[in-house]
Chains A and B, each alone.
Chain A
């Protein structure tokens, strides 16, 4: 009995499923992360069947939410207490097992700290060169990605047997979270090994403000604020505009705000409708993280600051005067 079944399965997997795409879902435990929707949208452009892998512990709700996303054919669920902390060592093993069973053409995830830890690890196991942070898909093996802090765009062709891709969330519209009706099934059984890595603790900065990478408006502060107390003005400004808060490396290094607000080459990449830089000079590394914003506004006392060379609207003014005035003006002209 086993033999014919195996043969049938092999024929089926090698022909029909060969070009299918696996998207690795990222979630908080309560909800699917928005960047997964960007990754699914990118996967849609590859024009093949999309399966989404949901890993974790007690993730039934996440799996259901995922199955409704437009374009999702199948949701594969690996539900195991050992996957609770989503450590890359364990998640990578689940992906490798799923790939061995289904022979995906591409494995895709949104470029976040979660997938940056996982996708290349899968590459190391499978002896495959991954493709980081793509911003454009030309065909199922040709992509564009930025290098040198976004100062050069490389069009690359991958000969890898499976394309291991992370996508820049800001470069792809999010897939709609309704309209899909993916079938939910269990991931292939894999023994989750003891890898020598243990989760100890997590410290998440809580905020009611819109999330930085998906906010429509972002207000960003730099060295010009001079102190942590003064930086409060950035939060006040953001709240007045219902905006996300960003920062330059200088502001983070000086301790004005936490690390996870950093926008730039080594921080977050954002492309809101409106990006307002306050007291930021505009170093290459910062610009790398925000130059694709639709409208850039710079407020700075130094009229020679490089930020004015890329800003759509520049205001040479003292931030401590201009921001309160800006807040009042927005309120008054509503």
Chain B
């Protein structure tokens, strides 16, 4: 009996390392980066109604990397997950059209959504990880709306998993990943054992476009909708927005006719030693 069990164990381990990497990718619905945002007159936030939204560009890069890992047979299954209102289902469908296998929407009402903090997103991700047992969580390095750059690291801390942030290149090995990370002044390579959290930087890859046939196919892929209470989590706020204001604006200065004038003006201001 013992020998048989041992044999099974070896088979299982080999499978685990070589074949079965299941990836969870977090995606966020944000205002399109090309939109010039407007601050609400009552200073409670920015105008979001009737403004085009897209998948956060860094999340798009994370999805692309997961799909590439699957295409390279390093991953078997990709789940995309978003915490947000119904509107986030659009970007989940987009992610499935790009190659994700299934999606989970942890649904909150618009009011809660306004006040979500990265900590809440990390809690939702952690709950999904614990429920469905993933080997790797891929996220964007930051969302271009709140510019927080926190969720991946919060999640890694919560789960006591290793983290590789600002990934520029990912190389999957058996049971671990070599990740080249962008750091101030250059690049650093770390090896993280799975399970691990990785956040994608701008130059990790160029996301693909979803083709029409794939968009049609994505409509048939499973999208599970959950409430926070289904996961046993609550979103108490630790941060309160007192007010949101426009930054001080710079106005256009003068156009100088030539280099000589430009240099003399800068010199007058004492800008050169």
Interface residues in chain A, defined as those with a beta carbon under 8 Å from any beta carbon in chain B: 87-89, 92, 112-114, 116-125, 127-133, 142, 146-160, 195-205, 217, 241-242, 249, 252-253, 258-260, 265-266, 268, 273-274, 284-285, 291, 295-297, 303, 308-317, 322, 325-326, 329-330, 333
Contacts and interface: CB of A to CB of B under 8 A. Distances in A.
7 contacts: A120-B150, A149-B33, A201-B188, A258-B186, A266-B202, A274-B271, A297-B266
A116 B202 contact: no
Contact of B254 (A265, A284, A313): A313
A152 B239 contact: no
A147 B39 CA distance: 11
Nearest to A197: B162
B19 interface: no
Contacts of B146: 147
B243 interface: yes
A205 B185 contact: yes
B265 A153 contact: no
Interface string B242-262: 111111001011111011101
A155 B255 contact: no
A309 B252 contact: yes
B: contact size bracket: 35 or more
Contacts, number: 257
B255 A123 contact: no
Contact of B191 (A114, A147, A200): A200
B63 interface: no
Given A159-B237, A196-B196, A113 B166 contact: yes
Contacts of B122: 124
B144 to A, nearest CB: 7
B252 A315 contact: no
Contacts of A202: 183, 186-189
Nearest to B269: A295
Given A153-B247, A196-B193, A274-B271, A314 B253 contact: yes
Contacts of B201: 266
Contacts of B182: 113, 259-260
